[in-house]
Protein backbone atom coordinates (compact mmCIF):
# COMPACT_ATOMS: atom_id res chain seq x y z
CA UNK A 1 0.00 0.00 0.00
CA UNK A 2 2.82 2.43 0.88
CA UNK A 3 4.65 1.58 -2.35
CA UNK A 4 1.45 2.20 -4.30
CA UNK A 5 0.88 5.45 -2.42
CA UNK A 6 4.37 6.67 -3.31
CA UNK A 7 3.81 5.84 -6.98
CA UNK A 8 0.51 7.73 -7.04
CA UNK A 9 2.08 10.70 -5.22
CA UNK A 10 5.05 10.74 -7.59
CA UNK A 11 2.90 10.66 -10.72
CA UNK A 12 0.03 12.91 -9.59
CA UNK A 13 1.31 15.11 -6.76
CA UNK A 14 -0.46 15.52 -3.42
CA UNK A 15 -3.37 17.66 -4.71
CA UNK A 16 -4.62 14.88 -7.01
CA UNK A 17 -3.67 12.01 -4.66
CA UNK A 18 -6.67 9.78 -3.86
CA UNK A 19 -7.08 6.79 -1.57
CA UNK A 20 -9.20 5.04 -4.22
CA UNK A 21 -6.36 5.11 -6.75
CA UNK A 22 -3.92 3.76 -4.17
CA UNK A 23 -6.39 0.99 -3.22
CA UNK A 24 -6.85 -0.01 -6.85
CA UNK A 25 -3.11 -0.06 -7.52
CA UNK A 26 -2.35 -2.03 -4.35
CA UNK A 27 -5.26 -4.46 -4.91
CA UNK A 28 -6.89 -3.80 -1.54
CA UNK A 29 -10.18 -2.30 -0.42
CA UNK A 30 -10.37 1.44 0.21
CA UNK A 31 -11.98 0.72 3.57
CA UNK A 32 -8.90 -1.29 4.67
CA UNK A 33 -6.71 1.72 3.94
CA UNK A 34 -8.98 4.07 5.89
CA UNK A 35 -9.09 1.57 8.79
CA UNK A 36 -5.29 1.44 8.96
CA UNK A 37 -4.31 5.04 8.10
CA UNK A 38 -7.40 7.07 8.98
CA UNK A 39 -6.99 9.80 6.40
CA UNK A 40 -5.64 10.44 2.91
CA UNK A 41 -3.09 12.80 4.51
CA UNK A 42 -1.78 10.16 6.97
CA UNK A 43 -1.35 7.68 4.16
CA UNK A 44 0.54 10.18 1.99
CA UNK A 45 2.73 11.18 4.92
CA UNK A 46 3.67 7.66 5.91
CA UNK A 47 4.56 6.82 2.30
CA UNK A 48 6.78 9.91 2.09
CA UNK A 49 8.45 9.43 5.44
CA UNK A 50 9.24 5.78 4.80
CA UNK A 51 10.76 6.73 1.47
CA UNK A 52 12.79 9.58 3.01
CA UNK A 53 14.19 7.26 5.69
CA UNK A 54 15.37 4.83 3.03
CA UNK A 55 16.71 7.56 0.73
CA UNK A 56 18.62 9.34 3.49
CA UNK A 57 20.68 6.77 5.40
CA UNK A 58 22.92 8.20 8.14
CA UNK A 59 26.49 7.70 6.87
CA UNK A 60 29.39 6.37 8.95
CA UNK A 61 32.49 6.86 6.80
CA UNK A 62 35.02 7.46 9.57
CA UNK A 63 35.31 11.25 9.25
CA UNK A 64 32.84 14.05 9.91
CA UNK A 65 33.69 15.87 6.68
CA UNK A 66 32.99 12.84 4.51
CA UNK A 67 29.89 11.89 6.55
CA UNK A 68 28.53 15.38 5.87
CA UNK A 69 29.43 15.20 2.18
CA UNK A 70 27.64 11.83 1.88
CA UNK A 71 24.55 12.99 3.74
CA UNK A 72 24.28 16.23 1.76
CA UNK A 73 24.72 14.26 -1.47
CA UNK A 74 21.76 12.02 -0.51
CA UNK A 75 19.63 15.07 0.30
CA UNK A 76 20.53 16.67 -3.06
CA UNK A 77 19.68 13.48 -4.94
CA UNK A 78 16.41 13.10 -3.06
CA UNK A 79 15.34 16.68 -3.75
CA UNK A 80 16.11 16.25 -7.45
CA UNK A 81 14.27 12.93 -7.84
CA UNK A 82 10.59 12.59 -8.86
CA UNK A 83 9.92 11.00 -5.45
CA UNK A 84 11.60 13.98 -3.80
CA UNK A 85 9.35 16.29 -5.80
CA UNK A 86 6.38 14.27 -4.54
CA UNK A 87 7.66 14.76 -1.00
CA UNK A 88 7.85 18.48 -1.68
CA UNK A 89 4.27 18.54 -2.97
CA UNK A 90 3.15 16.98 0.31
CA UNK A 91 5.40 19.23 2.40
CA UNK A 92 4.15 22.37 0.70
CA UNK A 93 0.60 21.61 1.78
CA UNK A 94 -0.83 23.89 4.46
CA UNK A 95 -2.90 20.98 5.84
CA UNK A 96 -2.60 21.29 9.66
CA UNK A 97 -2.04 17.53 10.02
CA UNK A 98 0.98 17.83 7.73
CA UNK A 99 2.35 20.82 9.62
CA UNK A 100 2.18 18.88 12.91
CA UNK A 101 3.75 15.73 11.52
CA UNK A 102 6.42 17.73 9.75
CA UNK A 103 7.67 19.16 13.05
CA UNK A 104 7.81 15.68 14.60
CA UNK A 105 9.48 14.28 11.50
CA UNK A 106 12.26 16.86 11.46
CA UNK A 107 12.99 16.42 15.16
CA UNK A 108 13.37 12.69 14.54
CA UNK A 109 15.60 13.25 11.47
CA UNK A 110 17.91 15.60 13.36
CA UNK A 111 18.06 13.17 16.30
CA UNK A 112 19.14 10.40 13.88
CA UNK A 113 21.78 12.62 12.28
CA UNK A 114 23.18 13.62 15.67
CA UNK A 115 24.97 10.21 15.69
CA UNK A 116 27.32 11.66 13.07
CA UNK A 117 28.37 14.38 15.49
CA UNK A 118 28.57 12.07 18.52
CA UNK A 119 30.99 9.84 16.61
CA UNK A 120 32.93 12.92 15.45
CA UNK A 121 33.23 14.18 19.05
CA UNK A 122 34.57 10.78 20.14
CA UNK A 123 37.19 11.03 17.38
CA UNK A 124 38.05 14.59 18.52
CA UNK A 125 36.80 16.10 15.25
CA UNK A 126 33.96 18.16 16.67
CA UNK A 127 33.70 20.07 19.99
CA UNK A 128 31.50 18.08 22.40
CA UNK A 129 29.54 21.19 23.43
CA UNK A 130 28.84 22.48 19.90
CA UNK A 131 25.50 22.03 18.16
CA UNK A 132 25.69 19.55 15.30
CA UNK A 133 22.02 20.25 14.62
CA UNK A 134 22.82 23.87 13.80
CA UNK A 135 25.74 23.01 11.55
CA UNK A 136 23.61 20.45 9.71
CA UNK A 137 20.65 22.80 9.42
CA UNK A 138 22.89 25.54 8.00
CA UNK A 139 24.18 23.07 5.41
CA UNK A 140 20.93 21.50 4.26
CA UNK A 141 18.82 24.68 4.34
CA UNK A 142 20.25 26.08 1.06
CA UNK A 143 19.28 22.86 -0.76
CA UNK A 144 15.66 23.22 0.36
CA UNK A 145 15.79 26.98 -0.21
CA UNK A 146 16.76 26.37 -3.84
CA UNK A 147 14.13 23.64 -4.28
CA UNK A 148 11.29 25.50 -2.57
CA UNK A 149 11.96 29.19 -2.87
CA UNK A 150 14.36 30.35 -5.56
CA UNK A 151 13.94 27.32 -7.89
CA UNK A 152 17.68 27.46 -8.56
CA UNK A 153 19.74 24.42 -9.67
CA UNK A 154 20.97 22.34 -6.73
CA UNK A 155 24.08 21.23 -8.62
CA UNK A 156 25.36 24.84 -8.70
CA UNK A 157 25.35 25.12 -4.92
CA UNK A 158 28.90 24.73 -3.46
CA UNK A 159 28.02 22.17 -0.78
CA UNK A 160 31.59 20.96 -0.12
CA UNK A 161 32.91 24.51 0.02
CA UNK A 162 30.20 25.41 2.57
CA UNK A 163 31.03 22.31 4.61
CA UNK A 164 34.67 23.42 4.72
CA UNK A 165 33.83 27.05 5.51
CA UNK A 166 31.46 26.19 8.36
CA UNK A 167 33.36 23.19 9.64
CA UNK A 168 36.56 25.29 9.95
CA UNK A 169 34.75 27.63 12.36
CA UNK A 170 33.93 24.72 14.69
CA UNK A 171 37.53 23.54 14.84
CA UNK A 172 38.82 26.92 15.99
CA UNK B 1 -5.16 48.46 -5.79
CA UNK B 2 -1.84 46.93 -4.69
CA UNK B 3 -2.49 47.94 -1.07
CA UNK B 4 -5.94 46.35 -1.29
CA UNK B 5 -4.46 43.24 -2.88
CA UNK B 6 -1.94 42.88 -0.03
CA UNK B 7 -4.70 43.25 2.55
CA UNK B 8 -6.81 40.57 0.87
CA UNK B 9 -3.78 38.27 0.53
CA UNK B 10 -2.85 38.79 4.17
CA UNK B 11 -6.34 38.06 5.47
CA UNK B 12 -7.33 35.25 3.09
CA UNK B 13 -4.13 33.69 1.70
CA UNK B 14 -3.48 33.11 -2.00
CA UNK B 15 -5.94 30.22 -2.43
CA UNK B 16 -8.94 32.37 -1.53
CA UNK B 17 -7.59 35.57 -3.12
CA UNK B 18 -10.03 37.01 -5.70
CA UNK B 19 -9.81 39.99 -8.04
CA UNK B 20 -13.43 40.91 -7.25
CA UNK B 21 -12.67 41.34 -3.56
CA UNK B 22 -9.62 43.49 -4.36
CA UNK B 23 -11.70 45.60 -6.78
CA UNK B 24 -14.41 46.15 -4.17
CA UNK B 25 -11.91 47.11 -1.47
CA UNK B 26 -9.99 49.47 -3.79
CA UNK B 27 -13.20 51.00 -5.20
CA UNK B 28 -12.33 50.23 -8.83
CA UNK B 29 -13.88 48.05 -11.51
CA UNK B 30 -12.71 44.46 -11.82
CA UNK B 31 -12.19 45.02 -15.55
CA UNK B 32 -9.69 47.83 -14.83
CA UNK B 33 -7.63 45.42 -12.73
CA UNK B 34 -7.68 42.76 -15.43
CA UNK B 35 -6.73 45.38 -18.06
CA UNK B 36 -3.71 46.48 -16.02
CA UNK B 37 -2.53 43.19 -14.45
CA UNK B 38 -3.90 40.54 -16.79
CA UNK B 39 -4.37 37.77 -14.21
CA UNK B 40 -5.16 37.21 -10.55
CA UNK B 41 -1.66 35.74 -10.20
CA UNK B 42 0.09 38.81 -11.65
CA UNK B 43 -1.82 41.09 -9.33
CA UNK B 44 -0.96 38.97 -6.26
CA UNK B 45 2.68 38.82 -7.31
CA UNK B 46 3.08 42.53 -7.85
CA UNK B 47 1.46 43.25 -4.48
CA UNK B 48 3.87 40.84 -2.78
CA UNK B 49 6.97 42.01 -4.59
CA UNK B 50 6.27 45.68 -3.90
CA UNK B 51 5.76 44.88 -0.24
CA UNK B 52 8.96 42.78 -0.09
CA UNK B 53 10.99 45.61 -1.65
CA UNK B 54 9.75 48.03 1.01
CA UNK B 55 10.15 45.54 3.86
CA UNK B 56 13.70 44.55 2.87
CA UNK B 57 15.73 47.71 2.27
CA UNK B 58 19.41 47.16 1.46
CA UNK B 59 21.31 48.44 4.50
CA UNK B 60 24.41 50.65 4.37
CA UNK B 61 25.70 50.81 7.94
CA UNK B 62 29.41 51.12 7.20
CA UNK B 63 30.44 47.52 7.96
CA UNK B 64 29.62 44.23 6.23
CA UNK B 65 28.90 42.46 9.50
CA UNK B 66 26.31 44.99 10.60
CA UNK B 67 24.84 45.26 7.07
CA UNK B 68 24.31 41.49 7.14
CA UNK B 69 22.84 41.60 10.65
CA UNK B 70 20.39 44.35 9.58
CA UNK B 71 19.38 42.58 6.40
CA UNK B 72 18.86 39.23 8.11
CA UNK B 73 16.85 40.97 10.83
CA UNK B 74 14.53 42.43 8.15
CA UNK B 75 14.13 39.02 6.51
CA UNK B 76 13.30 37.43 9.90
CA UNK B 77 10.73 40.14 10.67
CA UNK B 78 9.18 39.81 7.22
CA UNK B 79 8.88 36.02 7.48
CA UNK B 80 7.22 36.33 10.89
CA UNK B 81 4.71 39.04 9.86
CA UNK B 82 1.18 38.32 8.55
CA UNK B 83 2.23 39.96 5.26
CA UNK B 84 5.24 37.68 5.12
CA UNK B 85 2.96 34.70 5.66
CA UNK B 86 0.84 35.98 2.74
CA UNK B 87 4.01 36.14 0.64
CA UNK B 88 4.73 32.56 1.63
CA UNK B 89 1.22 31.46 0.62
CA UNK B 90 1.84 32.96 -2.84
CA UNK B 91 5.38 31.55 -3.03
CA UNK B 92 4.25 28.06 -2.11
CA UNK B 93 1.92 27.96 -5.10
CA UNK B 94 2.93 25.64 -7.92
CA UNK B 95 1.34 28.01 -10.47
CA UNK B 96 3.86 28.12 -13.39
CA UNK B 97 3.54 31.91 -13.67
CA UNK B 98 4.63 32.20 -10.04
CA UNK B 99 7.56 29.84 -10.54
CA UNK B 100 8.82 31.93 -13.48
CA UNK B 101 8.42 35.26 -11.71
CA UNK B 102 9.99 33.87 -8.57
CA UNK B 103 13.24 33.09 -10.40
CA UNK B 104 13.34 36.61 -11.86
CA UNK B 105 12.49 38.13 -8.50
CA UNK B 106 15.29 36.35 -6.65
CA UNK B 107 17.88 37.27 -9.27
CA UNK B 108 16.84 40.91 -8.87
CA UNK B 109 16.95 40.69 -5.05
CA UNK B 110 20.44 39.17 -5.06
CA UNK B 111 21.62 41.81 -7.56
CA UNK B 112 20.35 44.54 -5.20
CA UNK B 113 22.05 42.94 -2.20
CA UNK B 114 25.34 42.65 -4.07
CA UNK B 115 25.86 46.38 -3.34
CA UNK B 116 26.55 45.38 0.27
CA UNK B 117 29.46 43.24 -0.88
CA UNK B 118 30.77 45.78 -3.40
CA UNK B 119 30.97 48.37 -0.64
CA UNK B 120 32.60 45.82 1.68
CA UNK B 121 35.22 44.99 -0.97
CA UNK B 122 36.01 48.71 -1.38
CA UNK B 123 36.53 48.91 2.39
CA UNK B 124 38.78 45.82 2.25
CA UNK B 125 36.33 43.75 4.31
CA UNK B 126 35.47 41.12 1.71
CA UNK B 127 37.65 39.50 -0.99
CA UNK B 128 36.82 41.08 -4.38
CA UNK B 129 36.71 37.66 -6.08
CA UNK B 130 34.46 35.92 -3.50
CA UNK B 131 30.75 35.34 -4.06
CA UNK B 132 28.62 37.54 -1.83
CA UNK B 133 25.55 35.86 -3.32
CA UNK B 134 26.64 32.52 -1.90
CA UNK B 135 27.38 33.91 1.54
CA UNK B 136 24.01 35.67 1.59
CA UNK B 137 22.16 32.61 0.34
CA UNK B 138 23.81 30.45 3.01
CA UNK B 139 22.66 32.94 5.66
CA UNK B 140 19.05 33.51 4.59
CA UNK B 141 18.31 29.90 3.57
CA UNK B 142 17.89 28.65 7.18
CA UNK B 143 15.25 31.35 7.82
CA UNK B 144 13.19 30.16 4.86
CA UNK B 145 13.93 26.53 5.73
CA UNK B 146 12.43 27.07 9.20
CA UNK B 147 9.44 28.98 7.80
CA UNK B 148 8.70 26.59 4.94
CA UNK B 149 10.00 23.20 5.86
CA UNK B 150 10.62 22.47 9.52
CA UNK B 151 8.17 25.09 10.95
CA UNK B 152 10.72 25.86 13.67
CA UNK B 153 10.90 29.22 15.49
CA UNK B 154 13.01 31.78 13.62
CA UNK B 155 14.05 33.50 16.85
CA UNK B 156 15.91 30.35 17.97
CA UNK B 157 18.17 30.41 14.91
CA UNK B 158 21.65 31.82 15.73
CA UNK B 159 21.85 34.26 12.82
CA UNK B 160 24.68 36.43 14.23
CA UNK B 161 26.71 33.36 15.17
CA UNK B 162 26.32 32.00 11.63
CA UNK B 163 27.32 35.38 10.16
CA UNK B 164 30.49 35.27 12.27
CA UNK B 165 31.25 31.63 11.45
CA UNK B 166 30.83 32.07 7.71
CA UNK B 167 32.26 35.55 7.49
CA UNK B 168 35.45 34.38 9.24
CA UNK B 169 36.03 31.87 6.45
CA UNK B 170 35.99 34.66 3.84
CA UNK B 171 38.54 36.73 5.71
CA UNK B 172 41.07 33.89 5.79
Q: Is the pLDDT of residue A116 over 50?
A: yes
pLDDT, tens digit, for every residue of B140-154? 999 999 988 888 899
Which pairs with CB-CB distance under 8 Å and at least 24 residues apart come from A116-119?
A116/A58, A116/A59, A116/A60, A116/A64, A116/A67, A116/A68, A116/A71, A117/A64, A119/A60, A119/A64, A119/A67
Backbone angles phi, psi at B61, to 5 degrees: -95, -10
Q: How far is A103 from chain B (nearest CA, A)?
A: 6
C-alpha B24/C-alpha A23 separation (Å) is 46
Among the partner-chain residues A91, A162, A164, the one whose CB lies closest to the CB of B149 is A91
Helix B64-80 to helix B132-144 angle (10° resolution) is 30
For residue A86, list chain B residues with Cβ-Cβ distance below 8 A: none
Assembly ipTM:
0.84
C-alpha A67/C-alpha A121 separation (Å) is 13
Label residue A83 by pLDDT band (50, 70, 90): confident
Q: Check B89 against A94: CB less than 8 A apart.
A: yes
Q: How far is A92 from chain B (nearest CA, A)?
A: 6
Q: Is the pLDDT of residue A91 over 80?
A: no
Taking the C-alpha atoms of B93, B98, B99 and B104 in order, what is their torsion angle to the nearest 10 degrees? -140
Q: Quote the pLDDT of residue A172.
A: 47
Q: Check A138 against B140: CB less than 8 A apart.
A: no
Give percent of chain A above pLDDT 70.
99
For residues A6 and A12, the answer to whether their CB atoms sit within 8 Å is: no
Please give the model's pTM, rounded to 2 decimal places. Answer: 0.85
Q: Quote the pLDDT of residue A84.
A: 84
Q: Check A89 against B92: CB less than 8 A apart.
A: no
Give percent of chain B above pLDDT 90.
56
For residues B29 and B21, the answer to whether their CB atoms sit within 8 Å is: no
Q: Is the pLDDT of residue B172 over 60?
A: no
For residue B171, list chain A residues with Cβ-Cβ distance below 8 A: none
Summary mean pLDDT of chain A? 89
Residue B16 touches partner A, C-beta closer than 8 Å = no
Size of interface A-B (CB pairs under 8 A): 91
Q: Check A92 against B94: CB less than 8 A apart.
A: yes
Which residues lie below 8 Å from residue B57, measured CB to CB, with a gap of 6+?
B74
Q: Is the pLDDT of residue A1 over 70?
A: yes
Q: Check B103 against A152: CB less than 8 A apart.
A: yes
For residues B102 and A151, the answer to whether their CB atoms sit within 8 Å is: yes
Among the partner-chain residues A148, A150, A170, the one whose CB lies closest to the CB of B149 is A148
C-alpha A105/C-alpha A85 separation (Å) is 17
**Cα B78 vs. chain centroid, distance in angstroms?**
8
Residue that wins the pLDDT comparison between B33 and A151: B33
Is residue B170 helix, strand or coil?
A: helix
What average pLDDT does this structure show over A74-94?
Answer: 83
Which A residues, 92 through 131, put their C-beta within 8 Å of a C-beta on chain B?
A: 92, 94, 99, 102-103, 106
Amino acid sequence: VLDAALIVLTSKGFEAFTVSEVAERAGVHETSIYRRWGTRTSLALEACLRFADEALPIPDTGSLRSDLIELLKSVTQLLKSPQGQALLSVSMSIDPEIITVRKTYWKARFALASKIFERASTRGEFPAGASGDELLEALIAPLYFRSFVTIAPLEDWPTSEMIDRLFASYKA
